[in-house]
A and B are shown apart, each in its own frame.
Chain A
Amino acid sequence: GAVVSQHPSWVICKSGTSVKIECRSLDFQATTMFWYRQFPKQSLMLMATSNEGSKATYEQGVEKDKFLINHASLTLSTLTVTSAHPEDSSFYICSARDGQNPAYEQYFGPGTRLTVT
């Protein structure tokens, strides 16, 4: 149980283009999903929290117009990196929390490696 998938697992795009990453909870309803970014040899940094049907809450320093988050259903959240630049190259990981479980555990997807050339 508690499986989270991400697609794609890796993507290469040219500078100035946009990239969409999908995060799905496969066997539970995720009322809350989180998006993290991880640079090499660094820990996970929370970018934003999204609740189904409402606007995402972004962490300080994260540009909401650049990182568009949509949590349209209880099993799907998307992160769109708009006008990507080489400095956006990173490992993006989503996590999801089971809305029917009062516990605080977050279950993570396998991550998406983004390379902007």
Chain B
Amino acid sequence: EDQVTQSPEALRLQEGESSSLNCSYTVSGLRGLFWYRQDPGKGPEFLFTLYSAGEEKEKERLKATLTKKESFLHITAPKPEDSATYLCAPGGSNYKLTFGKGTLLTVNP
């Protein structure tokens, strides 16, 4: 059975304080590791797809990296508008995504 664990469950940062979110996964036949951002009461917003170990992708203050069993989302000098829940989801067979519980990030001004 595919499993995903995200840590920490919640993270509170001061504006400008960099940190990383972790996603550990076990999935048979990985077909991509996906990161999404979800604001309260809204659907997830696509951020990144990583397909192979060693791959990195960046978008503004966010950088996602992938190993064989983990993915990290690094947040550099975050701003209050980066506050959201960040979800990771490995992709398996039949294009299905298995979502973790997410990390609730709060960035204080």
The interface residues of chain A, by DSSP majority, are classed as: strand
Chain B residues lying within 8 Å of A34, measured Cβ to Cβ, are: 96-97
Chain B residues lying within 8 Å of A2, measured Cβ to Cβ, are: 46
CA distance A32 to B42 in the complex (A): 21
Most chain A CB within 10 A, of B43, B87, B96, is at: B43
- Total contacts A-B at CB 8 Å: 59
Whether A93 and B96, one on each chain, are in contact in the complex, defined by CB atoms closer than 8 angstroms, is no
The answer, yes or no, to whether B102 is at the interface (CB within 8 Å) is yes
Whether B41 and A44, one on each chain, are in contact in the complex, defined by CB atoms closer than 8 angstroms, is no
Chain B residues lying within 8 Å of A67, measured Cβ to Cβ, are: none
Whether A44 and B32, one on each chain, are in contact in the complex, defined by CB atoms closer than 8 angstroms, is no
Most chain A CB within 10 A, of B36, B87, B95, B98, is at: B95
Whether B43 and A110, one on each chain, are in contact in the complex, defined by CB atoms closer than 8 angstroms, is yes
Whether B41 and A113, one on each chain, are in contact in the complex, defined by CB atoms closer than 8 angstroms, is yes
CA distance A107 to B34 in the complex (A): 11
- B-contact 0/1 string along A1-44, CB 8 Å cutoff: 01010100000000000000000000000001010000000111
Whether A42 and B101, one on each chain, are in contact in the complex, defined by CB atoms closer than 8 angstroms, is yes
Whether A108 and B87, one on each chain, are in contact in the complex, defined by CB atoms closer than 8 angstroms, is no
- Give the shortest distance, in Å, between B98 (CB) and chain A (any CB): 8
CA distance A42 to B49 in the complex (A): 22
State whether A93 and B32 are in contact (beta carbons under 8 Å apart), knowing that A43-B101, A46-B97, A49-B96 are contacts in the complex.
no
Whether B100 and A43, one on each chain, are in contact in the complex, defined by CB atoms closer than 8 angstroms, is yes
Selected from B42, B46, B99, the residue in CB contact (under 8 A) with A110 is B42
* Chain B residues in the interface with A (C-beta under 8 A): 31-32, 34, 36, 41-46, 49, 87, 91, 94-102
